Structure 1
Amino acid sequence: MALFPGPSGYGFRGPGERPQPMSDINVTPFVDVMLVMLVVFMVATPLLPTGVDVNLPEAPAKQVGTDRKPIEVSLDASGQLYVRQAPVDREELPALLRHLVEAEGDPTEVRIFVRADRSLPYGEVMQVVTQIGGAGFSKVAFLSEPPASSEHEDDR
C-alpha cells in the first residue's frame, strides 16, 4: 500500500494500522529566522563604532583617496597611544610600525594617519610624529573633523 499523508501530518498505511510520522523536516521556519537574522546584522553592522574615541580638531581639508589602507596611530585625551585600535607603549612604536609594513615594502611609501585628541599638548603629539619619522616613515598626516559651519563649501 502507498503512504498517504493525512491532515495532521501523519501518513496512514491502511485500515487498522498505526499512523506513522512523516520523516520530512519543515525547514521553512528555520530559513525565515536565518533571513531575519541576516537583515538585522546587515542593518546593525554599519552602526558599530570604529576606532578609538578621540575628539578630533576641525580643519577645512579635503579627503585624500588612495588604494592602500593607511596605518592609524591614535592618541586619546589621556595620552595613551594606539596603533590600529591596539594600545601600544611609546617605546615600541617604531619597531611595531616597521613590523606592520614589512610585507608592504618601502616604509617611505606607507601612509600613517595620526589621530590626536584636541586637548593634548602640541609637544606630546610632536613626540609621536618624531618617532614615526625616525622610523623611516615620511608620509604622515593628521586627521581632523570637518568644520561645523559650511563656510568652505565653495572650495569643492
Structure 2
Amino acid sequence: MSTASFTRRHRKRKLKSEINVVPYIDVMLVLLIIFMVTAPLLNLGVDIDLPKSNAKSIAQKQEPIVVVVDAAGGYTLKMQDIPQQKVDAAGLAAKVSAFVKNNPDVAVFVAGDRTASYDTVYQAMVLLQTAGVEKVGLMSNSAD
C-alpha cells in the first residue's frame, strides 16, 4: 500500500511550467503610482537669464521689413523706402502680405521692447505668419 499511495501523491504533484506574474504586476502598479505622483513635480518652472548676443548682423541684399512691438502692445512698421508708421493688427497683416507677395525673398524681423509682454511679441509673429511670411527673425541689441 505504501507504493500505491506514493504513486498517487506523485501524480498529484506535477511541476508547473508557468511563470508566476503576480509579483511583477504588483511591482508595476507600485511604479505606476510613483511615476504618477512625481510627474507633476518635474514640470516646475526654472528661472533663466538669457545671454546677450555677440552675433554679427546678417548682410542683406534688400532692406528688411521691421515690425516694432512697443511696451504698450502697439505695432510700428518700417519697410523699404517708406517712413515708419504706426499700424494696427489688421493693417500690419495687410501691408506685410502685399509687400511679401511682390518680394518673397525679403527678410522680416520683429523688434520687441524689453518691457513688452511675450504674448504681444508672439501675436506679432502669428500675424506675420498669417500674412504669408515663412521666416521671421528676432532683433536684439548688441552685448557691447
Deviation of 1:77 (Å): 1.6
Contact 1:80/1:87 (8 A) holds in 2: yes
Between the two proteins, the alignment pairs up a number of residues equal to: 89
Equivalence map 1:18-97=2 (5 Å): 58-84=52-78, 85-97=84-96
Identity within the alignment, %: 31
Contact 1:110/1:139 (8 A) holds in 2: no
Aligned to 2:143: 147
Deviation of 1:102 (Å): 4.2
For structure 1, the 5+ residue unaligned runs are 1-56, 149-156
Distance 2:70 2:121 in 1: 10
- State the TM-score, normalized to the length of structure 1: 0.52
Of 111, 114, 118, the match for 2:114: 118
Contact 2:65/2:77 (8 A) holds in 1: yes
Contact 2:69/2:120 (8 A) holds in 1: no
For structure 2, the 5+ residue unaligned runs are 1-50, 79-83
Deviation of 1:86 (Å): 0.2
Deviation of 1:75 (Å): 1.1
Distance 2:86 2:96 in 1: 13
- Structure with the higher helix share, 1 or 2: 2
Distance 1:128 1:145 in 2: 19
| One-letter amino acid of the structure 2 residue matched with residue 101 of structure 1 | V
Contact 2:93/2:127 (8 A) holds in 1: yes
| One-letter amino acid of the structure 2 residue matched with residue 86 of structure 1 | Q
